[in-house]
Amino acid sequence: MFGWEFPPVISGGLGVATLGLCKALAPLADVKMIIPKNIPDFNIPNIELIGLNSITKKQLAELFKKEDYYSFRTPVYTSGAGFGPYTTVPDTETIDQKFYEVFHGDISPFEIDDLYAGDVIRKVIEFARICVQYCLRQKFDVIHAHDWMTFLPAMELKKRTGKPLVLHIHSTEYDRAGEFSKNWVFDLEKRAMELADRIIPVSHYTGSICAKYYGIPAHKIMPVHNGIEAVKHTVKMSPFEEKMVIFFGRVTMQKGPEYFVEAARQVLDKHKNVKFVMAGSGDLLRPMIELTASYGISDKFFFTGFLNKKMLNELLAIADVYCMPSVSEPFGLSAVEAVQYGIPTIISKTSGVAEALNGSLKFDVWDIKKFAQYIIAALDFEGLRKSVVEANDQSLQSITWENCAKKVMGVYQSIFDEAD
């Protein structure tokens, strides 16, 4: 299994989801998880965790004693377009050039500080280069890769060994950049999906994107909803007199933060006793701060920046309403986290979690008026709050990593059944 984010080194939901699945798979399969960076002494029972940063120069020299030419050394991707959502590739540089530089460079230990800072493409290619050489010396039955950053080594191993390839799709370039994002990452995702034996999108919504925008046959697509770990929590008294409405996640186009601000503006026209919290960081954080100032509502907003898990739990413990106005959300674990705290949730219809949380109030992301009306109703009408929370509590019973792992094992089994 290949992952990019993995606790304690995480930037968002990808690492949390990968960890949750691995822990639940451990009693059912032998899992070797390979990631860019592992922290010394961080171990998970029954999971063999390999961080490339822990492979020494001597070990690398042994791995590359007889380096072969990789089939992805001369890729079909030549676009210099940005690959989002974290950085861009300069227009003057093609990906072919990047492959040439990496594969003709010296072999050195894999060093990575920030997973998404700087030259991410180089990191992704170096990760693939070392992973393939390492894995060719291992015994395994299935290759399982999480999102585009890990698709290169997974594709190469599939070609070299003939072992079945399963792609876990937590997010697509379509989600991050829209329908017209035909760049290098989109091409990589499409090529990997075409080569894969099975694709596991985290929702039927994401599965429909794989079929419609990537042209993948329906029989290869087997959606599996994410799970969540049960938490013990205490709902606390808020230190504020006002009601609190929260948004948390990356502050980027995909997450729809501007819709949250626009809805807040309409709510505040009728309901003054409300504070809004935007928790997270991203390229739209400053524009959102400026937007609230231009509307004259900045005194009603808190912008917290990135919150760690402990701080996020503190926020959830005092919140009154949770909002997720994502333009395109493959799943949306944050909504499930809010449900665990007994908070009514308002989510966009273009989200995978809308399939799993039956009680949530759901709106079309462009319908700001309805969004604002739902916030006001969730704040003012106790009967509505209670019905939303109770229905979502029922949904929580099936949103577990154990259920997710069993379904993933079923996906593996379907490949071997087909081969028979």
Query: Do 100 and 191 sit in the same domain of this protein?
Result: yes
The answer to whether residues 285 and 365 belong to one domain is yes
Are 49 and 43 spatial neighbours (Cβ–Cβ below 8 Å)?
A: yes
User: Could you give the CA distance from residue 176 to residue 42 in angstroms, rounded to a whole number?
Assistant: 31
pLDDT band at 34, cuts 50/70/90? Answer: very high
- The token duo for 200 is 């596991």
Would you state the pLDDT for residue 56?
74
The reply to whether 313 and 410 lie within a common domain is: no
What is the per-residue pLDDT for 76?
A: 40
Is 235 inside a domain boundary?
Answer: no
Residues 341, 360: Cα–Cα separation, whole Å: 14
d(C-alpha 344, C-alpha 309), whole Å? 20
Single-letter code of the amino acid located at 337: E
Strands 31-35 and 345-348: unpaired
The number of folded domains in the chain is 2
Residue 267 belongs to domain spanning = 243-396
The rounded percent of the chain whose pLDDT value lies above 90 is: 60
Verify that 327 and 346 share a domain, yes or no: yes
Is residue 319 within 8 Å of residue 379, measured between CB atoms?
Answer: no
Do residues 218 and 288 share a domain? no
Given a contact cutoff of 8 angstroms between Cβ atoms, the answer to whether 328 and 349 are in contact is: no
Q: Is residue 234 part of a domain?
A: no
Extract the tokens encoding 362: 């759901």
Nearest one of 304, 299, 301 to 261, comparing CA atoms:
301
Beta bridge partners, 9, equal: 6
For residue 313, is it within any domain? yes
Give SS3 for 50. Answer: strand
* pLDDT at residue 103 in the model: 64
Same domain, 337 and 203: no
> 252 with 369, same domain?
yes
Q: Tens digits of per-residue pLDDT, 312-325?
A: 989 999 999 999 99
Same domain, 181 and 267: no
Are 214 and 76 contained in the same domain?
yes
Instruction: Please state the rounded mean pLDDT for residues 159-168.
Output: 95
Query: 98 falls in which pLDDT band (50, 70, 90)?
Result: low
Q: Give pLDDT, residue 69.
A: 45
User: How big is the chain by its Cα radius of gyration, in Å?
Assistant: 22
- Looking at residue 278, what is its pLDDT? 97
64, 107 Cβ separation under 8 angstroms: yes
Domain co-membership, 344 together with 411: no
- The strand pairing partners of 49, in sequence order, are 33
The CATH number given to whatever domain includes residue 356 is: 3.40.50.2000
Q: Which residue bears the tokens 């046959």?
A: 217
Is 186 part of any domain? yes
